[in-house]
Structure 1
């Protein structure tokens, strides 16, 4: 089987990576009858299997979409996520494009009464009404769960959970009483695969095909103080312009937002490259949900505050310089070039890999990665301001036909602007 993402040894870390800024998500492929990847089941490796809560479910989905670069994690495939019952009513589901996600729902406790099972049907119907598909294991074929069965889009038959002679009766019963696709799960031998295939089962998952692989992602997390500020602004229904201003002041916040909204799980058909557009697409309600989830998964650690401050100074200086020479619509991109030119330092990975995780205009990528294009001279001048190299400064300023006074004034304004921001953890 060909896998797009490289399986990583849990003991290996990227240069500069620590457990504090790394997300580890395991995935296992679900294959069709031609052994092509149909989807992936994701597992949270930071939470014990018996310790899942609504919060841990939300964190898994959020990390999968925000941090693990879901193109590398799942591409355009369907994602299967194990859910607790409590998480099915969680606000995090509002952030997810339902066509991309199958929610694997466990049955209730063994001592659940018929009334308790029936009472849960409206919850499942509500999730289905939002467009999510539901998956259950073979326990849903028990008589007590007859009311759940019509809601199943997938039924996973765990081949380790019942005797081989029960396989055919279970498959026939599932087909006769539901419209669900059947998935043979925990397939560990060729014989098991052949038996299920002979019964017409078309989806397979198990060690015989592929062991779970780990997908690691570097994360940069905004300070909790900044996220709280965003939440407060949204709660007070601040204008798009005010929210955009906050995003421009915190490179980690804006980076995470652009990466999240352009992830495959969000389901957009076009790439969003501006902060204003991202806020308008999300809307205040979803922006609030996103910020709240980001708050729960953030830590007050990561790259030194000085890195964020330097990135913001770069962005602001480039924005001010661009305002002298370029159309107004280019000033936002100039800001992004300055801020994201330090992504490699903030992420601890090479710049080309850092830029792969977020959608940016080609003009921004050209400047940051290749030193070319309309923004490149501005970035060169900004870096010269930082270095104190008089010769490089003079050459870069002359290339843009800007006087020393113009550049120095803009630099002073950028430094003053940055000093008024809180870069503490």
Structure 2
């Protein structure tokens, strides 16, 4: 059984992945605030212990999980190790002696504690010695109020400020200027700046490969020649083909051999991943991870919808759904330069059809917008439990693949 949870990345000021927050819902049809906070946390802990496992869901990064006073009193944080969890104290919990004692006990046992949606009150100063992270919602708190908070915690240099709901690079940069060290939101999934530019030689080679592998019949000679012009690409192809995930009995030593052994579907997947990972190495790795998750999700769901979709097309469409953010360029301008199937371009630009619906569904899951999903599921004839299972499987797959294609 899969639990209904989305993971939202938390990045440091260098845009490296720091942790994930797990956002739980009882089901797609039962959405916060209707779910009691105690029940939500209890089910999250139960699911992580007996079903999926926190480390599998978060790629061995710490998981921020909300706790109420009641769930803290019952010792639920101790069901996870200090390396697995950041104990996030819900904003509805009032500061008091009982909470202070629980915080001290968790701190002494090595747990990291965070205050969620912090609203400044002087009474919280008693908690500062045990608090590592203070989360501030930028939609609710002005930067003038942030200055007051920074002054209040100035005697506690171990405390880090985390900016929530950072949706643009402007917000990210402004938050950094005001002393924030951690950032939660999807600013990284939007273009940092929109501009027109030419593709580099490496990007052109990738585009050629995307074009060649989009043909019904692969032209091995043409594909081999593209790889042979780029030493780095050749190395990565051979390394990927020889990786443990394929359990080969003998070593693959030539480009042509690697192409034949991988086969059409796996080759298309590899080239798509290579394009996403290498097209702009300066972008946050989590952006690539989200793109990979979308690709795998679309591939897994392609055969589940009423209208069947080619899985290779589905995979590549999901992968390229964030290409504007990866390249920091207008989507239409990018797609003009890439010789892709018209079905992919129509999906990404017009937003109509089965694949566009699948992209909307995965976007809703990423943002934990469960109430928005039902209409799309009904239209495609999809089972909600199957959708969640495919999303979780896609997350795990994407985390594993990153290791194989970035090296």
TM-score (normalizing by structure 1): 0.41
TM-score (normalizing by structure 2): 0.42
Query: Rg larger in 1 or in 2?
Result: 1
